[in-house]
Structure 1
Amino acid sequence: MDWGLVLAWAIKILSLFFVIITGVAYYTLAERKFAGFIQDRPGPNRAGPFGIFQPLADGIKFIAKEEVFPKNVSKVMYLIAPTISMTCAILAWAVIPFGGTIPAPAWLMAWTGVQTIDLQIANPDSGVLYMLAISSLAVYGIMIAGWSSNNKYSLLGGVRSTAQMISYELPMGLSIVVIVIMTGSLRLTEINDAQKDLWNILTPPGFIAFFIYVTAMFAETNRLPFDLAEAESELVVGFHTEYGAFKFAMFFLAEYMNMITMSCLTTLLYFGGYNVPFGLGDGSEWSAFIGLGVFILKVLFFAFLFIWVRWTLPRFRYDQLMRLGWKKMIPWGLFTVALASVYTVYWKEAWQRIFS
């Protein structure tokens, strides 16, 4: 066994985990700051200058709070539920390519002998299927939390969320199938590379699939206008009503991790991933770093979109949510899959020549 390679992988995984946790913590601060701006108030501004230590204060609070177990909960399931949600949220990051290949720093080269670093943990042939499988498993954490809490509001939230996530997985899957048909691969890096000259959003099937995907993305992450599982005015806070301290923090972090994961996937599937517009920086020794920077900027835009929509649009009624998913988005998804097939066989080369 090449222990230098194993050490390099361990360092890469731990580095990514640190970046995820830090990024999610400051994403929560960004949401509170933008919410304050939209509502004409300052937002968090007590913990450090401009409130930059607020995520640290929140983290200490969650860890230090007393762990309370409500009466008559199913204790094992009650503890497993947030663990499932958090684990699925972290596992999803394993196959996301954040950029190309960068040279290893001198200290890492000395320790491990590794010359280059791929900005991705794993690159399986079925990366898209892996992401869909992990997102499907996440619903079990919410369902178990709602059932095991022995609370009617939690149970209603769990039932709502389960039905909502299963319903919107179908149009989301169809919108991703469109990209798979156009690319001819399930590997995320190949989907990224196929958009070097033409982003999928600029193709007729990709344009329609993008709007289906974004709508399903909000439903899958239980965010406004589809936050029926956590509707405060109806269900207190839904499936995690009975959770507090670190158990609640795990649900909280999982939700924001999933939002960033969906932003990464939107970038990879429709907006060229880490490909730099107009070929800027191609051939440069800094091209991989430029690509990483461009990827981060695209992801930040879609992460901001979650915040913008939350504080702009009202919540749907539950019947409206289901009607939109089953009667509108699934038929449109099936139409787009058929359109993608025709486009790939007959129009793809001609359409690419228009943009070349």
Structure 2
Amino acid sequence: MEWGFIIAWAIKILALFVIILTGVAYYTLAERKFAGFIQDRPGPNRAGPFGLFQPLADGIKFISKEEIFPKNVSKGMYILAPTISMTCAIMAWAVMPFGGTIPAPAWLTQLTGVSVIDLQVANPDSGVLYMLAVSSLAVYGIMIAGWASNNKYSLLGGIRSTAQMISYELPMGLSIIVVVIMSGSLRLTEISDAQKDVWNFFTPPGFVAFFIYVTAMFAETNRLPFDLAEAESELVVGFHTEYGAFKFALFFLAEYMNMVTMSCLTTILFFGGYNVPFGIGKGTDWAVWIGLLFFIGKVLFFAFLFIWVRWTLPRFRYDQLMRLGWKKMIPWGLFAVMFASIYTVYWKESWVKLFL
């Protein structure tokens, strides 16, 4: 049985890995298609019907291109940087809860003896802390890439990105503390289950924390209007100026994977995760699948929000970026934490009754 559990666990990880990579590949296509729509052009439409094979064509191109190492780079660190970024992006998915438990297929039960599958790889007591730790480590990939490239544009991009990510981790952490206070747990599944009656977004402190979190989310992923680390008009493409072929593909995939990860985390922290509103499907055999579909729908909305904002808003100046983070968002984050403490002690029960 022990070996059967390990095999089932390995199959689940492999399936999740394939689904994530496929989803991220088509997320890049969705962004290019939507950018084309905004700019009144068709977008990718040559590889396959409606351009549906474009991600596959891009993948083949990245893998088959010649690996070039600039003359003056620090080669070991230069290779290590995209590896760190991609590893941290993948590690974050280990604790992501997509739903409850589903019956295992007959062939899997026969092979491993496992009768149910938990739609989550791991469920540690400190899931929120794990997510914060992994997202904090991602900055090392960018910082090392900027330094190891031995290029002034790359170095400036790496420094900008490091300062930006460290600055915006503080308000993001404060907004997550608000959710932890209201839920009373660091476990992601318990945070999701605590929102069965009312989503955190519809509570007064959760509403404030949500906007702090979303702003920090854009800054943490280096997306417009906070993409100062990759400002093409100033820094070519910033920290990955000297990267090409498969090494660049790792940075590219890591960025889009982080965007989907943040979309999932937003759904879990503020919009009930896999909980379905109005009790739809409750008590039926399809309840878990309905919950999974609602989870995917919420994630797709926030993933679309990244695309929408990128092709709608202009880029901030760097001094505006820092002023917003340190002088506006951190004070608001501290206020939200204090507000959440008072709300949880005195008002939470009466507020939830309004929604029941």
With normalisation by structure 2, the TM-score equals 1.00
Give the distance between the partners of 1:33 and 1:324, measured in 2 at CA: 31
Q: How many Å apart are 1:212 and its aligned residue?
A: 0.2
**What is the SS of the residue equivalent to 1:82?**
helix
Q: How many Å apart are 1:209 and its aligned residue?
A: 0.2
**Which residue does the alignment assign to 2:95?**
95
**Which residue does the alignment assign to 1:215?**
215
Question: What code does the residue aligned with 2:183 have?
Answer: T
Q: How many Å apart are 1:4 and its aligned residue?
A: 0.6
Report Cα offsets for 1:126-162 as digits up to 9, x if no partner.
0000000000000000000000000000000000000
Report Cα offsets for 1:254-282 as digits up to 9, x if no partner.
00000000000000000010001101001
**Which residue does the alignment assign to 2:291?**
291
**Which residue does the alignment assign to 1:204?**
204
**Which residue does the alignment assign to 2:85?**
85
Q: Please identify runs of 4+ aligned residues in structure 1 that moved more than 4 A.
A: none
**What is the SS of the residue equivalent to 2:58?**
helix
Give the distance between the partners of 1:210 and 1:21, measured in 2 at CA: 28
The answer to whether residue 27 in structure 2 is matched with residue 27 in structure 1 is: yes
The answer to whether residue 88 in structure 2 is matched with residue 71 in structure 1 is: no
Q: How many Å apart are 1:39 and its aligned residue?
A: 0.7
**Which residue does the alignment assign to 2:337?**
337
**Which residue does the alignment assign to 2:307?**
307
Question: What code does the residue aligned with 2:107 have?
Answer: W
Q: How many Å apart are 1:318 and its aligned residue?
A: 0.1
**Which residue does the alignment assign to 2:12?**
12
**Which residue does the alignment assign to 1:49?**
49
**Which residue does the alignment assign to 2:115?**
115
**Which residue does the alignment assign to 1:249?**
249
**Which residue does the alignment assign to 1:139?**
139
**What is the SS of the residue equivalent to 1:355?**
coil
* Correspondence 1:314-333 to 2 at 5 A: 314-333=314-333
Report Cα offsets for 1:182-204 as digits up to 9, x if no partner.
01100000000000010000000
The answer to whether residue 226 in structure 2 is matched with residue 226 in structure 1 is: yes
Give the distance between the partners of 1:310 and 1:210, measured in 2 at CA: 19
Question: What code does the residue aligned with 1:229 have?
Answer: A
Give the distance between the partners of 2:105 and 2:40, measured in 1 at CA: 45
With normalisation by structure 1, the TM-score equals 1.00
Give the distance between the partners of 1:54 and 1:107, measured in 2 at CA: 34
**What is the SS of the residue equivalent to 1:316?**
coil
Flag structure 1 segments of 5+ consecutive residues without an equivalent: none
**Which residue does the alignment assign to 2:237?**
237
Give the distance between the partners of 1:217 and 1:39, measured in 2 at CA: 26
Question: What code does the residue aligned with 1:131 have?
Answer: M
Question: What code does the residue aligned with 2:59 have?
Answer: G
**Which residue does the alignment assign to 1:273?**
273
**What is the SS of the residue equivalent to 2:102?**
strand
Give the distance between the partners of 2:161 and 2:324, measured in 1 at CA: 15
**Which residue does the alignment assign to 2:148?**
148
Q: How many Å apart are 1:102 and its aligned residue?
A: 0.5
**Which residue does the alignment assign to 1:106?**
106
**What is the SS of the residue equivalent to 1:102?**
strand
Residue-pair matches, total: 356
Q: How many Å apart are 1:253 and its aligned residue?
A: 0.2
**What is the SS of the residue equivalent to 2:15?**
helix
Give the distance between the partners of 2:45 and 2:109, measured in 1 at CA: 42
Give the distance between the partners of 2:263 and 2:38, measured in 1 at CA: 22
**Which residue does the alignment assign to 1:258?**
258
Give the distance between the partners of 2:322 and 2:214, measured in 1 at CA: 16
Q: How many Å apart are 1:71 and its aligned residue?
A: 1.0
